[in-house]
Amino acid sequence: MRDEVKQHAWTQIAEAGVSALSLNAIGKQMGVSGPALYRYFESRDELITELIRDAYSNLADTVRSAYDGGADVVALAQVIRTWALANPQRYLLIYGTPVPDDTIMSVLVDATGGSDRAVSFLTRLHGILSLELAGYFAGTDVDLARLVESEISELVSSDRS
């Protein structure tokens, strides 16, 4: 029953985003009352947490399998990208749902001197910030301010060559 609820939840998220996730709607689709599902999940938040765990596990299994199969770092990047494109709702659930705003991008295009550089700037910065905020660097001695400075300086210096 829990797996069936989660399958319906993924369908809802794919169609309308995580904000539209409703145990009552899932219950209706399954032919039971929404409150009946609270026997399986204490709350909507518990369901979302379990979906996040499942998404992380699925991605980790995919990456581990590719690595154990001999994939190098470049190939692993493609494995992760392929997984994300095949599972966009899962990727966005675990890494955040951005709200595009071309105002920021237009400033970055002006500041960096071009669209490609602006995209590279934003992806490097966003990647580090997302990982930092999610706690991925906990327990390391990485100086995150220095890492950001290094990544952006490298980008700027590579643009000059």
Domain residue extents for the chain: 2-95, 102-160
- CA distance linking residue 25 with residue 75, whole number of Å: 40
How is residue 8 written in tokens? 């319906």
Q: Which of 66, 61, 5, 10 is closest to 36 using CA atoms?
A: 5
Structure tokens at 21: 């996730």
Higher pLDDT, 38 or 74: 38
Tens digit of pLDDT for each residue in 78-126?
999 899 989 988 988 888 765 556 677 788 888 888 888 888 888 888 8
CA atoms of 36 and 40, how far apart (whole Å): 8
Q: Please provide the average confidence, as pLDDT, over all residues in the chain.
A: 88
B/e letters for 105-125, b = 16+ CB within 10 Å, e = fewer, are: eeebbeebeeeebbebbeebe
> Are the C-beta atoms of residues 153 and 121 closer than 8 Å to each other?
no
2-95: which CATH topology?
Tetracycline Repressor; domain 2 (1.10.357)
Both tokens of 49, joined, read 């947490």
